Amino acid sequence: MTITPPLKTPEAIAGLPQRYAAYWNIIEFCRHIGIRKWHSGVVWVARTRLASGGYRQTQLAPVEGYHSKGVDYKTALALAEAWFASPEIAAIAAAPYAKGVNYTLRHTKTIGGFTVGDAMIDYVEWKRISGARTHFECSLSLINHHIIPRLGDVLLEEFTGRVFTEFCRDVLETPPKRGRQTPGPRVSLESLDRESLRKRKKTLNTLIGILRTAFRMAWENDEVASDRAWRCLKRLPHSDTPRTEFLTRTQCSALLDACNEDLRLLVMGALYTGCRVSELAQMRVRDVGGHFFGVYVRPMKSYRGRYVHLPEEGMSFFLDQCETKDEEDLIFRMSSGRPWSGSHKHLFRQAVIAATLPPGFVFHGLRHTYASQLVQAGTPLAIVAKQLGHSTTDTVSRTYGHLSCQSIESELNRRFASIKKRGADTRLAALRTSLQVVEETSSSWPVRNHSEASGEIVSLLRSVC
């Protein structure tokens, strides 16, 4: 679905080129209003998502200014709402839901005791003022989906290790929710494959972190007399999977050749900077070369902006994109002139297929490609972390550390003082050929960890990992 700028003004409509396909705006998800601007006339149209899939659409009225009986946006919107409410359409249409991000906790204050849901109210309000917007949105979504339905009505004074164990098991055995799709059936821990279990443990640890902060806040605010509920919460031992999905320079060239012009520029921006697509989409001309040799990345996922240094080739590329643009102009736009949004996804998927790359490779993989290339070339992990915007090297070390084998070997050969001189060993070349760069482990359970987690849920997890 292509979303255009608002259609509420005659000026916005006049600026749109003629085409047979309609221009759509969202009223609410599953309900759209738009115009069709074709040589035969300019008319208002509406469409609704069907419960069975697909869309049903209708023509509403001519657009004001293009026909003597034309109507404005407000009148067309009333006609669309009447059509959505008609018995024929209401019987077959999917249920609509509000557009935009939810910023409301789905819990009301409890009377007669302080519950986990009440603790979430205080936590959400604190995160609303202290956290980055995207982090707040993600945390609120997790709370509404996982914590409130399972623990919202549990009194905090009655929260025990047994309640926590049951919560952990429930989260781990419940399939992930995809958008507004109905989750699949519950799957026992014993039936989960290693990768699915790893991902669910990672989600669960995020939820445990939220609960720990909220419970400690409740104790500090004197809502409960004991800190037992907070001390019941232990993170599950968990290890990240080393990142293995990244492109070689040959594959990068093939991908660029398969992209159309506007997508090619966006992909090159990602390969030069390691930026997320949302960061590139918000980057403006004034962010390039302002105070140093590189680009400034505005705060997106975290509350911190960052500076990304560029090689000369990358700096030249960004300067090329800034020519003829004003300081406040976006650097990357679609060929239609609209800002990049989620519309890059299907175009990137087509390019991946055309370049015969792994079908599951997504745009975010370019960020991993950037980091992997730097690590393999021997770049210190602290520099890679700074370029990516990580506050420490921990994530980089866990995710890309396995790729630094060659640079470690080179450093050892260069700096290790010889004990006993000996001639060339012909076995070494054969050994290097036989070694695999990435060593697959048979378990997602770390060899050593410092977690204090124990009890039934941990014993069960150990048995299935």
Q: pLDDT tens, 134-162? A: 788 889 999 999 999 999 999 999 999 99
Residue 240: what pLDDT? 59
Residue 124 CB-density burial (10 A; 0-12 exposed, 13-18 middle, 19+ buried): buried
Q: Do 402 and 263 lie in a common domain?
A: yes
Q: Can you say how many angstroms the Cα of residue 14 is from the centroid of all Cα atoms in its chain?
A: 35
Q: Do 327 and 206 lie in a common domain?
A: no
Q: Give the domain range for residue 392.
A: 249-415
CA–CA separation, 105 and 124 (whole Å)? 8
Task: Work out the pLDDT band at 91, boundaries 50, 70, 90.
Answer: very high
CB of 300 closer than 8 Å to CB of 279: yes
Q: Do 267 and 407 lie in a common domain?
A: yes
With respect to residue 436, please indicate whether it lies within any of the assigned structural domains. no
Virtual torsion, Cα 57, 63, 66, 71, nearest 10 deg: 140
**For the segment 389-434, what is each residue's pLDDT rounded down to a tens digit?**
887 777 777 666 655 556 666 666 777 666 767 777 777 777 666 6
pTM of the model: 0.60
User: In degrees rounded to 5, what are phi and psi of residue 61?
Assistant: -170, 165
**For the segment 263-302, what is each residue's pLDDT rounded down to a tens digit?**
999 999 999 999 999 899 989 999 988 777 889 988 766 6
- Residue range 81-106: mean pLDDT, rounded: 85
Task: Work out the pLDDT band at 439, boundaries 50, 70, 90.
Answer: very low
Residue 212 has pLDDT above 90, yes or no: yes
Residue 97: what pLDDT? 75
Three-point CA angle 451, 223, 114, nearest 5°: 90
With respect to residue 16, please indicate whether it lies within any of the assigned structural domains. yes
CATH number at residue 197: 1.10.150
How many CB atoms lie under 10 A from the CB of residue 348?
A: 22
Three-point CA angle 218, 455, 192, nearest 5°: 100
Q: Do 161 and 288 lie in a common domain?
A: no
Residue 253: what pLDDT? 92
CA–CA separation, 128 and 176 (whole Å)? 25
**For the segment 20-34, what is each residue's pLDDT rounded down to a tens digit?**
888 888 888 889 999
User: In degrees rounded to 5, what are phi and psi of residue 423?
Assistant: -75, 180
**For the segment 185-199, what is each residue's pLDDT rounded down to a tens digit?**
888 888 888 888 888
Residue 442: what pLDDT? 33
Domain boundary among 179, 197, 231: 231
Q: Do 257 and 402 lie in a common domain?
A: yes
Counting the structural domains of the chain, the total is 3
